Amino acid sequence: MKTSRIVYDRWGTGEPVLMLHGLGHHRRAWQPLVADLAPYYQVVAPDLPGFGDSPAPAPDAPYEPRSVYDVGFLVDAVLELCADLGLDRPHVVGNSLGGAVALEMAARGRAASVTALSPIGFGSAARTAGARVLALGARGAARIPPALVRAAAHTAPARALAQRILRADPGSPAARDIAFDTSVIAPGSPFVRMVPHVARYTFAGTVECPVTVAWGERDRLLPPAGARRALHRIPHARRVALAGCGHIPMADDPRTVAAVILRTCRGAQESLDAAHR
């Protein structure tokens, strides 16, 4: 797709740090971290194609280099954006789906470092099977009249479920207004199109750059056991347990997440400097 259609925010100067959000989320998810990162790095946060303000490719539109709207398509689109913006091997931070995109970029040798926050692609067999059932459910829900879906999403049980899944502390004031965004399951929506690919996705690449895998200890969507499987796949990765955080840790504890990112980026630069001495 034309990367001119990808909407992004940029702050600060210096080495680039690319921030990639999760499935159904948007670039503003990173806003709480900007004050801690922008004084030291150029922070770039795009809306992945199909989410936020960046449009998805039309289902029947031919585009290069891929013809399937899946994780690989997002990787290609982000790499094209990096080329357009002059971001040569940025540090990459990704949450959930964005974590997978970050690791795939690293597997292609296109990342200086990766900080993966609860990345997809490291589920158990049972969890993967459950994700596929969820994908079928999302596609089925897309056939329900939108008015009924909207009404159901704002019932007390549905709001409680959304708060429990998406935030570490469902009872916190910050979680009070959280509810499922029913627009994402409209027929043919990017979410509905992407979910089956996410459900089948497993990370199988080889990564050589510095990697931190950070997982919220209270992540109910992708349990922290995924971190062990990630380290089995990427043995040199540093593992960080994020106490008190759920699946979107930058919403639960932005200062701690920013500190993890800074340590990863600075460590990668120190290793590079040492190698050149």
Each residue of 213-259: pLDDT tens digit?
999 999 988 999 999 999 999 999 999 999 999 999 999 999 999 99
- Measure Cα distances from 83 to 77, 86, 227, 241 in Å: 10, 5, 31, 33
Per the domain annotation, does 37 fall within a domain? Answer: yes
The region of weakest confidence among 45-54, 60-69, 92-101 is 60-69
Q: What is the pLDDT of residue 134?
A: 57
The answer to whether residue 115 sits within a structural domain is yes
- Classify 254 as helix, strand or coil: helix
Q: Please, are residues 46 and 5 in contact by the beta-carbon 8 Å criterion? A: no
pTM of the model: 0.85
Query: Based on C-alpha coordinates, what's the Rg of the chain?
Result: 18
Once rounded to an integer, what is the mean pLDDT over residues 71-98?
Answer: 97
Residue 9 sits in a domain whose CATH number is: 3.40.50.1820
pLDDT mean over 129-150: 53
Residue 113 lies in a domain: yes
**Predicted local distance difference test score (pLDDT) of residue 61:** 57
Taking residue 262's Cβ as centre, other Cβ atoms within 10 Å add up to 18
- Examine residue 244 and state whether it is found in any structural domain, yes or no: yes
* Cα separation values, 154 from 61, 149, 180, 225, Å: 35, 9, 8, 31
Query: What is the domain extent for residue 78?
Result: 3-124+202-275
Per the domain annotation, does 223 fall within a domain? yes
Q: What is the total count of domains within the chain?
A: 1
